Structure formats: C-alpha cells, structure tokens
Structure 1
Amino acid sequence: MIQGYPPEFFEGLRKTARRSAERVVPLVLELVSPSSVVDVGCGVGSWLAVFRERGVRTILGIDGEYVDRGRLEIPHECFRARDVTRPLDVVERFDLVVTLEVAEHLPPEAADAFVGSVTELGPVVLFSAAVPGQGGFRHLNEQWPPYWVERFEQRGFIPIDALRDELWETTEVEWWYAQNVLFFCRRDQLDRHAALKQRWLMTDRRRLSVVHPKLYTEKCRLLSELSDPRNLSLRASLRALPGQTARALRDGIRRLRGMTP
C-alpha cells in the first residue's frame, strides 16, 4: 500500500499537472482520439479534467484513499479509491489509459503487477516514470525506460516515442513530462491508430533513455553548492546521509573539484 501524501503535495501537483495537460492533451487526442480515458494515480484529476473539457465523454480517476475528495477537479462519481500496488478490480475498459509519474512511487516488487493492471484497462497507455537520479517525494523505484519497456512487452505492448520531440523545449510543459512520456500500444491494435503507428515507425529505441537539460542543470547546481566550503550546513547534512548516498555525493564533489578518489 502507498503511504498517504500531504495536502501540499497534491496542491503543487495540481498546478504543474494542469498547465502541462492543457498543452499535451490536444496532442494526445490527435494521435489516439479516445472516447474514454482512465487515469491510474490521478491525484486530484487535473489531467482527466482537461480530457473532459476537450470532449472525452467517459473518464475515471483511480488513486488511494488519501486523496482529498474536496480537491478533486473531476466529479466525485468519476473517482475510485484503490490501492494501486494491488489488482485494481475495475471491470470497465477504456480507449486510453493514463499513468504519469506514478510508477516510481511504488515499491519495486509491485512493478510487474502495476504494469499488468494498467495494460488490462485498455489497448493504449500514456506512461511516464522518473529516471534514476531524478529525485522526488517518496520515489521508491526510479528506472530507465527499458525497465518499463520490458514489462510492457511481456504483455504485448510496444513503446512509441510520439510526443517528446514536440515537448522537449516548450516552457508550457514541466520537464519531467517532456523527458519521460511515452505511449505503449498493444501490438495487435496498432493498425487502428494510423497516426500513432507512424510515430512508432519513427521511434528509435536506442534513444528512449534521455535526461532533460533542466534536470541536468539542477543536479549540477546542487553538487556545486555541496562543494562550496561556505555551505557548512550542507556538509553536515551530507554526513547525516546513509553511507551509499553520501559516498555518491562525495564522489560527485571530488569530480567537480578535479580531485581523484
């Protein structure tokens, strides 16, 4: 079971998700044209609200009991509380399944079951998950895309890099979506989505694992701060970190200084 999240987590998510969704959803609709969408790990439903505003008739949001119903951006009857680390017990099927920046919050032992759950809900999945070192609140399983590709392919779904080129430099979309978002489509359904199939033909699987410049720049800034002798409090914090994490950060500091281990 996923632990609860504080209200400020969902408030921050609402602001960033809504703005990004308003840019991304029209692109998704051009490629898939769904009449029904389910969002697994929907938070307060910001992405679903935008799909609904754009004419999608049937929506369903799934997330934990910890979601404050008073903050929902979708009708209460369009939300179901579920433990997403377990089988979801949802009988409906949908044209599009959305799950964005959710999988990294689940323990590694839940990864296979989670992919199984989302692929049972529909033939096309819009998916993103944090990469190693991305960082975030309660990230338990940051992985490069091939980790997830393997699990989707075991269920007959193929990866399609359809959006990242268009989103990469836009300021309207948060960098983590631009960096991580991929489609997965059930292979036997690909011919039903001509535009998506065209993007599949253009997908270079050797370049699925990428790091956005904004993430790289932020990590460099943090390492630079840690290497500054004036930041004694940061050094104290470093000493308080678990051994493996502290060693990794110290190695980064040495590299920044041009030192050898």
Structure 2
Amino acid sequence: MPSVTAAQSRLNVTTSVISGHLTHLEDRLGMTLCHRGRAGFKLTEDGAAVYEACLGFTESVANFQHQLHYIKQLDSVHGGHIRLCLIDQMPKFFYDALRQRLANSYRNNPLIHFSIDVQSPESMLEKLLSNESDIGVGYFGSFPPLLTFQPAFIETQVVCCGREHRSFHEPNKLTFEELEQDHHWVKRGYITDVSINHIRPKILSATTYQMEATAQLILAGHHVGYLPRDLAMRYEEMGLMKILLPDEASYEVKHHWAYRENLHKHVADFFE
C-alpha cells in the first residue's frame, strides 16, 4: 500500500520532512492533496488532478529542453535555418537545379533546416526586407537597394486561351490588335502594365497573384492571360489550352535570386 514511509528510502529524507513538505504544498495550493496516516496514503480527487497536471508539466519541460537542444544545434557551425521563398510554377530546369542545391546543402550540412514558401514577388520582397525570409527567387518589378539581386534564369511568358475560348479553334485568324483590344485579360496583382511594355490589354477583368490561379481562369474559357511557357505547353499538350501569337505576344522575363547582403554562413553556403 502506498505510504509516506515507502517514499522515505527513495527520497532519502525522514517521514516528518516529507509530511512537512506535503503540508506546505497543500497550504500553498489551498487544497488537500492526500490522506496520510495509520490508514495509509491515498490521493484525494484534487490530489490526483494535481498529479496529472504535474506529469503534463514535466513532459512539457522535457519537450522544451529537446527543442532548445535542437535550436542550439541549428545555430552551431553545422546547422542553421534557411527560409526560402519561391514564386509558383517555375520551369522544370529550375526545379532540377534547386533540388540539386538542396541535396548539396543536406550532404554538406545534415543538420540544416529549410522552410520553403510560395509567395508573390511583392510579398517576397516584403518578407526579405522585414527579415522574415532569407532567400527569394522570382521576377521583380522593383529592386530595393537594401537587397542584393543575382541573375537566376530567363523565362518565356506566352499568351494562352482555354478550350472554351472563341480563339481556341482559329488562332491563326487572330491579330495582335484583336488580342489586345477585344479579349478579356487576367491581370497579375503583383505586376504593373508597364512591365509588359509591348502589349496594352484594354479589358482587364480578373486579377490573380499566382500562376496556377491564372491558369484556372484561362481554362474556364472567358479570359486570356500570360503563363510561363513550360506550364502553358503542358496544358496545350493535354488539349486544354492554346498558345496565341507566340512570335508577337510572347516576352522574356529575367528571374533573380534576392537576399540581404549580410548573409549567415549557412545561407551563403547555399549559393556555392
């Protein structure tokens, strides 16, 4: 049967000391935790609840210590945390190169921790400037002087329409002027019309911040819009889209890596 006496040898203190501590604890908590005496030791209902709470507290402390140990590892020379931002729907060759960089980082530094997020270019710059992200890659309408920009790759953007659009079945009859003036366009929420300096769509009746969202509007059949050529070709091969006036309406955009100049070592190593 549980008793204060049974705890004496384990704690290496006298029963009177144990009883004194229990009494002091009960006074502090304002409740009776256990019945103790000649009849033996038994937790009260409050005592059992406090005991369970103590077990939970002990587990939380152990988890905190484990997390703290992990954080210390990340902050050591071998370790670190890299917060990476991408725009969505990058070309296949970029994803291949990115996977190789990630693999090299883990090979050289097994304790490295990556957080990867998908953002619009404007949100990406805001996160970099506010130190919420370490590295971004995309095409940007502005180049804040507090950030460093490094060329990443060049991508071709093409105009597309969906299978239900009137230009899908007779794309060869479409003129540049008709495309510009007579079609409903998807506007990008993060890029100004000035950035598309060779075309001035008259009817901008939808706005998106992600390429996949643009694709869904185009697939719906009412709008035309720009998509990365890799993405557009995948839909075209499935018979769901048509690329319009590829020689006249397409344009190239330069993507850049963006980061703050004072890089941590593990972030700088990512670019090596």
TM-score range, shorter chain: under 0.3
Going by fraction, where is strand more abundant, 1 or 2? 2
Q: Tell which has more relative contact order, 1 or 2 (C-alpha 8 A, sep 6+).
A: 2
For the pair shown, the structure with the greater C-alpha radius of gyration is 2
Going by fraction, where is helix more abundant, 1 or 2? 1
Q: TM-score, with normalisation over the residues of structure 2? A: 0.24
